[in-house]
A and B are shown apart, each in its own frame.
Chain A
Amino acid sequence: MTPVPALEAVDVTRSYRLEGVTVEALRGVSLTVHPGDYAAVVGPSGSGKSTLMHLLGGLDRPTTGTLRVGGRDVRAMDEDELAALRNRTIGFVFQAFQLLARTSAVDNVGMPLVYRGVKRAERRRRAVAALERVGMGHRLDHRPNELSGGEQQRVAIARALVGEPQLLLADEPTGNLDTRNGAEVMALLEDLNAQGVAVVLVTHDLEIAQRARRQVHVRDGLIERVT
């Protein structure tokens, strides 16, 4: 018996209307990500990889086609169900870290749990555990402006992990980091992947993409090839 895929996209399209013109960002994409998988989505800017990542992350819904996350059809979900999906099943890592200013690392990490109704003390306990997992246990009460870029991205990864997701979606996670910090963040993501979390990396950096088990090349809204 094959396990339920973490992600399953079948012939997914996504089009927008921009000032009266219909833009087809994705023109029929099929992709399966299994639990524990490690894939990279690569392509030049404007290829549709960001749109794909938004769809995979439940931030957006496909125009046509079927997208199942954790076995459930995203198109059939309402806004609140999508929010719950983002909260429980998926962890996001952004290029620009997206940490809340004036908020300590531990509160940043615990924030997703607020929307699950987890009590404050328990939030802190889990946030501390997540920060320790990414090697930031010594920086609990530091604010983002007191941390280096690499440290901020670690905090952001801890935030993505705190909800015990099946899948980490990382959008150019090293884009704002120098080589050394970038390598450390990649090592951390791979370490987490080794612990069983599926990782999907979105990048235009082929060198980084090569580290994944699979490379999904996207161009002009279509999957060009998978290597």
Chain B
Amino acid sequence: MRVAEAFRVAVTALRANRLRSLLTMLGVIIGVSAVVVLVAIGTGAKREVEAQVNGLGANLVILVPGQLEFGAAPTRSRLELADADRVGRAIGQPGGVAVTLASGETVRAGGNSAFATVNGTNAAVPRIFNRPVARGTYLRESDVDTRRRVAVIGPELAAQLYEGADPVGRTLAVGGVRFRVVGVFAPLGGAFGASRDAEVHIPVTAAQRLFGDPRVDALAVKAPTTEQIDEVGDRALAVLQERYPDEEFSAVTQDQILGTVGRILGLLTTVLAAIAAISLLVGGVGVSNIMLVSVRERTREIGLRKAVGARTGDITVQFLIEAVVLTTIGGVLGILLGVGGALGLAAAVEQLPAVITWWSPALAFGVSAAVGVFFGVVPARRAGRLDPVVALRAE
């Protein structure tokens, strides 16, 4: 009852000083919208990475030399192509182990050239990774065995090199060596500039000769079920450990990648949101300041209200509600601006996904209300404690 009346008085008072109220809200609006936008982008980035990692294929185990940790120096591989056969036999999937030997190269076709990741692989790739071919075929086992100079290229690269013409059957040159295009991948999309649609896959044997490198970077296998991921990884590691007793290898799963990437992006999102929250805090100081001005301006009103029976608590609650109304209206405007901004940004910038989660606007609203209470307390208590005799005499 009294609270409802306090709301009415608060709205009347704020409307009496529309411009001032709006400017005071601006700090909160900016803070809240910044938090909402940054959380949306952070969440979008995380979802995108998750989708990409999960889109690689199901139940993958990637075998790499050394300890795989972010920040650790990459270890030079001693893996060979023959290790893929050994691992395949050990896990009961002969021919089911993919290999990779990748290098960034300039790729030319006709008068066009582009920089692309050239990946030496084998015929097991389509069985392990989710890499559909839109036109033509993927590399065959015989291509690897005979070191045939054939290539499967991504659609983005195809568009760059052949400008819309069908690439299958045409040639491209990598490091001066000519390859015949046999297939074009279906588009996968990509985020943050790391497009997998500009890759070139060639037989690993051809890549070894091209790069002058007899080894492979890593192996990849697929566990038959999610439950068998660890078992398959352990067996594969055991084979490698036996062959290279003085080296370490890691079996990396998608869950591990997601865990690490998730932690990094989570931390990044938190830091960005915290920076944005500082502007919310500054907005709160502005609210506090303007409320103090308001208390001073309305000293006589406060004195009168006390003279006719308002208690200290009634006045305190009234000014507190006024501060909270100010910040929550600012919060709602900030949420609208933030959601609009995030969606607008996502629409305008292709590689910047933004996902609005239900909790970030809810949290922003809660925080802005809390800012109102926190920064409203001092002015409100000052108002409540005014002596009615003195207050009534105020100018």
Contacts and interface: CB of A to CB of B under 8 A. Distances in A.
Interface of A: 54, 57, 59-60, 79-80, 83-84, 86-88, 92, 94, 98, 100, 102-103, 111-112, 114-117, 119-120, 159, 163
A2 B123 CA distance: 114
Contact of A83 (B4, B12, B16, B310): B310
Contact of A114 (B2, B301, B307): B2
Interface string B1-18: 110110000001000100
Contacts of A163: 308-309
Nearest to B384: A79
Contacts of A117: 1-2
B308 A86 contact: yes
B140 interface: no
Contact of B309 (A54, A88, A100, A120): A88
Contacts of B310: 83, 114-115
B388 A59 contact: yes
A83 B306 contact: yes
Contacts, number: 64
A100 B304 contact: yes
B309 A116 contact: yes
Given A114-B2, A114-B5, A115-B314, A102 B12 contact: yes
Contacts of A112: 308-309
Nearest to A53: B389
Interface string B285-301: 00000000000000011
Contacts of A92: 307-308
Contacts of B2: 114-115, 117
A-B pairs with lowest CB-CB distance, top 4 = A87-B309, A112-B308, A115-B309, A83-B311
Interface of B: 1-2, 4-5, 12, 16, 300-301, 303-314, 388-389, 392
A186 B312 CA distance: 33
Contacts of A87: 308-309
A54 B391 CA distance: 12
A94 B391 CA distance: 13
B13 to A, nearest CB: 9
B381 to A, nearest CB: 13
A79 B388 contact: no
B389 A59 contact: yes
The SS class assigned to the B binding surface is helix
Nearest to A60: B389
Contact of A111 (B4, B12, B308, B389): B308
A119 B300 CA distance: 25
B307 A59 contact: yes
Contacts of A111: 305, 308
27 contacts: A54-B389, A57-B307, A59-B306, A59-B388, A59-B389, A60-B389, A79-B311, A79-B312, A83-B314, A84-B309, A84-B311, A86-B309, A92-B308, A98-B307, A98-B392, A100-B301, A103-B12, A111-B305, A114-B2, A115-B2, A115-B309, A115-B311, A115-B314, A116-B309, A117-B1, A120-B4, A120-B5
Nearest to A99: B304
Contacts of A102: 12, 16
Given A87-B308, A98-B392, A100-B301, 7 more contacts: A54-B389, A100-B304, A102-B12, A102-B16, A115-B2, A115-B308, A163-B308
Contact of A98 (B16, B304, B312): B304
Contacts of A159: 308
Given A98-B300, A98-B392, A119 B1 contact: yes
Contacts of B300: 98
Nearest to A156: B304
A115 B307 CA distance: 11
Contacts of A84: 309, 311
Nearest to A83: B311
Contacts of B389: 54, 59-60
A84 B312 CA distance: 11
Nearest to B4: A120
A119 to B, nearest CB: 7
